[in-house]
Structure 1
Amino acid sequence: MATSTVAATSDDKLRLPAEEKYAEELKYLASVDKGQKPFSWRLSPRMIRTFILGATPADKLDRPIAQKFFGDTSLVERAIVTLASDRGLLLIGDPGTGKSWLAELLAAALCGNSTHVVQGTAGTTEDHIKYSWNVAMVIASGQSHDSLIPSPIMTAMKRGEIGRFEELTRCGSDVQDALISILSEKYVSIPELRTGDNVVFAKPGFSMIATANSRDRGVNDLSTALKRRFNFVTIPIVTNKKSEKEIVLFRTRELMARNQIQLDVPPTLLDILLQTFADLRETAANASNEDQKLESSLSTAEQIGVLEDAILHSRFFGSQELGADTLARSVVGTLVRRVPEDVSIMNKFWHAVVEPGAKKKKDKSWESFTDGGKNALASFK
């Protein structure tokens, strides 16, 4: 598997945006890109696909390009094509499937800026996606362009870049409706300003990437009018063990590099983690009702969280080596959120699935994993 190339570092940024992190890759790809670029895009659609999915020998590039998103090629291509059209892009899927990561990579490759982001919540208002005012300046000299505070979306419109809207369905209908004019008319009116200077038009290259959690359906359903302004791309849960293994290793190595920690993950323990999540998903799929399922979505992102937690615990409080018992404690600690509901569900799973499976394998790592999980569950009593 290709490893990531961290092109930019910073002592004062906890997390670098994709355009900084992969700056060298993006600069190189732009220098060899001879493809047609829509609007003001920095890369052609083919080169954007290469940046996201990684280079192959057929690309005949002089340097490796790491794969950053592990998903269906056609899914990524459809997302890129959508952004070259008049429609916005809506990435929808379960929590932890990589929707936000794909949105960030797309924005970084298209316009070199993935930070025009609005985070959707129940408290998000129309001001967050259009504009607000500097109250002190308005009191002192009235409403003007100087006292106007543009939203990240308006800033993206002015620059002809990508605006991102996270968790769209968590917002109320009034906020969602405010997007309709932006997506269809491509401008924002500012009635408080004098006529002739009260409209902000989107420059070529502007588009919207929104994400929506499929588990939030019914919270604030999108109107038919807004749905027509988006192309929907569904990001599925990764069920292929090989792909999931690559994702977990790729993201965990990045997180550990951020913490300047070097600790190998034994292949046996990674297989145990993948198998445990696969068994948990199967158990959840066979459950007769929601009360018999863990609150966790059991996503790949949660596997990464479990592994990161176990590595950090081993590094700071263990023997500097990742052990199966520590991994088990991290699984339980991460996935048990409701007490006593999730404790009961996990207890049944551990005794009905993990323990019998470990006995069949007759492997010391599985035995240690089983015992570690039992001890972790016992601490909830």
Structure 2
Amino acid sequence: MSEMLRAPAEVTYADELDFLESVDTGPKPFSWRLSPRMVRLFVLGSERADGLSREIPQKWFGDRSFVERAIVTLASDRGLLLIGDPGTGKSWLAELLAAAICRNSTLVVQGTAGTTEDHIKYSWNVSMVIAKGQSRESMIPSPIMTAMERGVVGRFEELTRSTSDVQDALISILSEKYVAIPELDQDNIVFAQPGFSIIATANSRDRGVNDLSSALKRRFNFVRIPVVTNKRSEAEIVRFRTEELLRRHRIELDVPPTLLDILLQSFADLRAGAASATSDDEKLESALSTAEQIGVLEDAILHSQFFGDRTLRAATIAGSLVGSLARRSPEDLAILNKYLHGVVEPRARKDDDGWAGFLDGGRQAIASLS
């Protein structure tokens, strides 16, 4: 684990998964490693009423009903499609579910404009085909086919980024549960084993790029993941991810609650401004998601660690915020400058509490980019 830049969930939380498996007495669908109740507990954390001898921390912060519906879908023979705005935790939830169900979250296809049907089904080792001809030995199974053969969960990230003909390759997999290999005369069908399922994610902002066909939609259960708007829940997500970041980088640095409140409030202010905007030119190009908040805080922490005095300050957070959100020039810079003068400056005059430093840091960052 220490040699991995980022360990998958089944490695990071191996001790928790081992413990839950050892005390799990509930019914398990197919070849699942944990029962649905324990899968939910792994994702959402334990409570005193669960009666466990150790605490299981919460890893995904959202409505319990979304997680329960996702688990029930995976216990059926339908695919699961997690859809929502960027930064809502779709991929993280998919990884946690796969880790809990089959202890393998790495069988992933990444949807892009360059994704082909081979990435979903199989391809060939050309040198082996030339030497020995086409056979199962010279075939390279895709992550989805590997998941079928093992009876585990396969993942398809950003499904709507791939073209329609590539998407439609999933239809037969989700309905017939097998893949035919017409190039072979014998042993030419790969059947899905019990426990196989697919978790796909889709960005709601990609609507219209490559819409799913009606046939494919019928084979997925949709779970829509909303943007986190509850300030307390968002603070928990940012704090959880920040602690994980500090452990990964072996950084000992305190994140004062006051500075976290400033970050959360600044994003809430900018979202409110975007909601009241009458044109796209008055909105930041950024989605202002929770994931982007985490990115801003990560940038500020690393800057403080490597180029500062290892103390996180409001000015550093403001500089990171401007650097992360100012993607268009001059439009985004003008929006951020208006926010600093119209909202942050009066707040800094009325009650400092870190806002004065945030204002100074923001102004310096904008000046350097202008």
Matched, 1:21 2:17: no
Q: Distance in 2 between matches of 1:200 and 1:244?
A: 44
Instruction: Provide the secondary structure at the position in 1 that maps to 2:369.
Output: coil
1:134 corresponds to which residue? 125
1:58 corresponds to which residue? 49
Instruction: Provide the secondary structure at the position in 2 that maps to 1:205.
Output: coil
Q: Distance in 1 between matches of 2:96 and 2:47?
A: 18
Equivalent of 2:61, from 52, 67, 70? 70
Instruction: Name the aligned partner's letter for residue 238 of structure 1.
Output: V
2:340 corresponds to which residue? 350
Instruction: Name the aligned partner's letter for residue 276 of structure 1.
Output: S
TM-score by length of 1: 0.96
1:374 corresponds to which residue? 363
2:216 corresponds to which residue? 226
Q: Distance in 2 between matches of 1:206 and 1:341?
A: 48
Instruction: Name the aligned partner's letter for residue 154 of structure 1.
Output: M
2:258 corresponds to which residue? 268
Instruction: Provide the secondary structure at the position in 2 that maps to 1:13.
Output: coil
Instruction: Name the aligned partner's letter for residue 182 of structure 1.
Output: I
Matched, 1:40 2:28: no
2:169 corresponds to which residue? 178
Counting aligned pairs with the same residue, the percent is 74
Q: Distance in 1 between matches of 2:189 and 2:207?
A: 34
5+ residue gaps, structure 2, are none
2:73 corresponds to which residue? 82
Instruction: Name the aligned partner's letter for residue 331 of structure 1.
Output: L
Alpha-carbon offset, residue 75 of structure 1: 0.7
Equivalent of 1:188, from 179, 184, 192? 179
Matched, 1:334 2:288: no
2:352 corresponds to which residue? 363
Q: Distance in 2 between matches of 1:290 and 1:187?
A: 46
Alpha-carbon offset, residue 255 of structure 1: 1.1
Matched, 1:294 2:284: yes
1:322 corresponds to which residue? 312
1:282-339 CA-to-partner distances (Å, cap 9, x unmatched) read: 0000000122111111011111111111011111111110011111101101111112
Q: Distance in 2 between matches of 1:181 and 1:355?
A: 59
Q: Distance in 2 between matches of 1:112 and 1:380?
A: 46
Q: Distance in 1 between matches of 2:203 and 2:296?
A: 21
Matched, 1:93 2:84: yes
Q: Distance in 2 between matches of 1:21 and 1:135?
A: 36
Instruction: Name the aligned partner's letter for residue 360 of structure 2.
Output: D
Alpha-carbon offset, residue 340 of structure 1: 1.7
TM-score by length of 2: 0.99
Alpha-carbon offset, residue 11 of structure 1: 3.0
Instruction: Name the aligned partner's letter for residue 156 of structure 2.
Output: F
Alpha-carbon offset, residue 166 of structure 1: 0.2
TM superposition outliers: structure 1 runs of 4+ over 6 Å:
none
CA contact (8 A) 2:258 2:353 kept: no
Q: Distance in 2 between matches of 1:121 and 1:358?
A: 45
Equivalent of 2:233, from 232, 237, 243? 243
Alpha-carbon offset, residue 380 of structure 1: 1.5
Instruction: Provide the secondary structure at the position in 2 that maps to 1:19.
Output: helix
Alpha-carbon offset, residue 357 of structure 1: 2.5
1:7 corresponds to which residue? none
Cα RMSD of the aligned pairs, angstroms, is 0.8
Q: Distance in 2 between matches of 1:90 and 1:358?
A: 44
1:6 corresponds to which residue? none
Instruction: Provide the secondary structure at the position in 2 that maps to 1:329.
Output: helix
Alpha-carbon offset, residue 364 of structure 1: 4.7
1:304 corresponds to which residue? 294
Q: Distance in 2 between matches of 1:213 and 1:91?
A: 9
Alpha-carbon offset, residue 351 of structure 1: 1.4
Instruction: Provide the secondary structure at the position in 2 that maps to 1:379.
Output: helix
1:211-259 CA-to-partner distances (Å, cap 9, x unmatched) read: 0001000000000000000000011111111111111010011011111
Alpha-carbon offset, residue 262 of structure 1: 1.1
Q: Distance in 1 between matches of 2:177 and 2:139?
A: 19
1:253 corresponds to which residue? 243
Equivalent of 2:204, from 203, 209, 214? 214
Instruction: Name the aligned partner's letter for residue 124 of structure 1.
Output: T
Equivalent of 1:204, from 194, 197, 209? 194
Instruction: Name the aligned partner's letter for residue 199 of structure 1.
Output: I
CA contact (8 A) 2:88 2:290 kept: yes
